[in-house]
Structure 1
Amino acid sequence: MANKTSIYNNYFEKQNDLNHEKLHIWFDYTVFSWRWWLGILIMVCLTVIWLKFRKKESTDRLLYTGLFIAILASFLDMIGVFLGLWEYRYEVFPLTHNYFPWDLFLVPISIMIILQIKPNMNPFIKGIIYAGFSSFIGLPLLTWLDIYKPIKWEYIYSFPILVIIYLAAHYVSLRNQFEKV
């Protein structure tokens, strides 16, 4: 039992040291860099766009859907980073390994906006369009900007996952529990 405890203590000590090193690297090379400012700009601009163009009467339903998407995208992203499938550089916030502008702003807000556009259009087609744009334009752009680095991952792998995320968001957005009592 004591051996397991010392193994865990050693692990957490190493993890703590790495977190401190990451924080120093973030302060020295990331914060206030142009890529950091780009992340801040993405978050601010997307929030303003969503506030301006959302259907006001659907705000609660859309926020609920956006929260669902943000949690799902963040969870999947954490798994990918943990497994070494990809990594992010120039994180806006150094406390996680996720890229906040992507997981908490770009993916949820873009889906919330797409849900409002042509609401009667086939959701599978909308999901394919969304996933295609995100997988084959968005992710390569993040790679080109040196923010996202796929390691054991191809853009095509993201495509079906993003279709499923969109379809799940579509399903959540249609729940009738949003009706007023």
Structure 2
Amino acid sequence: MTTIEKMDKHANETQEIAKQAIDLWQHEVVFSWRWWLGVIITIFTWLFWIKYHNKESRYRLLLAGFFVTTVSISFDALGVQLGLWSYRYEVFPTIPAYLPYDLALMPVVIMSMIQYKPYYSPFKKSFIFGFLTAFVGEPLIVLTDIYKIEKWHFANSIPIYIFIYLIAHWLTTRKEFKEVT
């Protein structure tokens, strides 16, 4: 069997597994309480941000939020693909990441932290964010059976969360933006 034939066979197997996952999602996940929890988290998190964000800093904060979303989805999908963790009860069945976490909680929490007490040390904020997210946020989502850890530990997430926060903060302090008030 040639390399191309092997790759085609693998692609066909992957597509069949994806079809089975979508079928399972349609019959057992969508409209379950865990699915609704994800939808509600996503909607209310963004409604909170829309109501309480600093309007003068909107685009600067959204730049940070877009960065956080992009990195979160990328790292999350990579972790799923490498078998480090898995998700059940996804809001959308074809994306290997938990979108309420990556598209709502992560960016909105970071954007809110950046705008709250803007002169407080970003390093201290990043450590607070990293530890709380790893040791409170992740265990809570495990308790709901939405998130299953395979070959990972909560503590492994701390430096990643710190890095994401610090880069997001750095993006918001570029000279192109008006100072936070």
Give 2:139's aligned residue.
140
Task: Quote the RMSD (CA, aligned, Å).
Answer: 1.0
Give 1:71's aligned residue.
70
Give 1:164's aligned residue.
163
Per-residue displacement from partner, 1:7-54 (whole Å, max 9, x unpaired)? 111011101100100000101111000000000000010010000000
Matched residue pairs, number?
178
Give 1:30's aligned residue.
29
Structure 1: gaps spanning 5 or more residues: none
Give 1:122's aligned residue.
121
SS in 2 for 1:46: helix
SS in 1 for 2:156: helix
Give 2:177's aligned residue.
178
Counterparts of residues 52-67 of structure 1 (less than 5 Å): 52-67=51-66
- Normalising by structure 2, report the TM-score: 0.96
SS in 1 for 2:75: helix
Residue 119 of structure 1 aligns to which amino acid in structure 2? P
Q: Distance in 2 between matches of 1:64 and 1:127?
A: 17
- Normalising by structure 1, report the TM-score: 0.96
Structure 2: gaps spanning 5 or more residues: none
Counterparts of residues 1-16 of structure 1 (less than 5 Å): 3-16=2-15
Residue 148 of structure 2 aligns to which amino acid in structure 1? K
Per-residue displacement from partner, 1:146-171 (whole Å, max 9, x unpaired)? 01111100000011110111111110
**Is residue 17 of structure 1 aligned with residue 26 of structure 2?**
no
Give 1:44's aligned residue.
43
1:177 Cα offset (Å): 2.4
**Is residue 103 of structure 1 aligned with residue 78 of structure 2?**
no
| Residue identity (%) | 39
1:5 Cα offset (Å): 1.5
SS in 2 for 1:178: coil
SS in 1 for 2:2: helix
Residue 58 of structure 2 aligns to which amino acid in structure 1? T
Structure 1: 4+ residue segments shifted above 4 A? none
Q: Distance in 2 between matches of 1:148 and 1:170?
A: 27
